Amino acid sequence: MEQFKSLEDLRDALKRLSQWFARPIVDGEHPTLHLNPGSTHREVLNGIQRDDYIFSSCGNWVQPSIAHGLSFSAHWQHLKGIQRMKAKRNPGKPVSVYWILEVADIPEGLKFVPDPTDRKKQHYLLAVTQKMHVAELRSKLEWIADRMAVIKDAQEAL
């Protein structure tokens, strides 16, 4: 087992292992779902923000799309920018970073894909690759959240 003496040591180790994906999350929020009514101004279905995915007209099904998905950073600079934005919008609340490695067992029907609008390939989406019921997507997002590592109050680390 290797002990990391600095964040730089951790960055070097992650570069050797695999690509990683991270999400800065305000203290009290869920890493993959919108469970608090005030956490977003957008419509939420079963804990999933409607703008993140393509829903059927009835709202019960999520359609596959590599241009939609839950937002993740895949580069330190992108992560730092998002973390700073979240901290600025939520003064006084700690912002933690939840992260997962690409080689993690992502459930079938989901895949990390580069955001097609990001030329630098620093922003990724956790996209749906096959049609699934909203409850199934929620279950898979909860499963991923349970396996994510966390850096508590990450402002000092970033």
Tell whether 94 is covered by a domain: yes
pLDDT surpassing 60 at residue 158: no
Tell whether 2 is covered by a domain: no
Instruction: Quick: pLDDT tens for 33-89.
Output: 999 867 677 889 999 999 999 999 999 999 999 999 999 999 988 999 999 999 999
Tell whether 22 is covered by a domain: yes
Instruction: Quick: pLDDT tens for 103-139.
Output: 778 999 999 999 999 999 999 999 999 999 999 999 9
Mean predicted confidence (pLDDT) in 15-42: 84
Tell whether 157 is covered by a domain: no
Q: How many structural domains comprise the chain?
A: 1
Q: Edge-to-edge strands of the sheet including 65-73?
A: 110-114, 123-128, 65-73, 20-26, 95-101, 149-151
pTM of the model as a whole: 0.85
Which residue segment(s) compose the domain that 112 sits in? 7-151
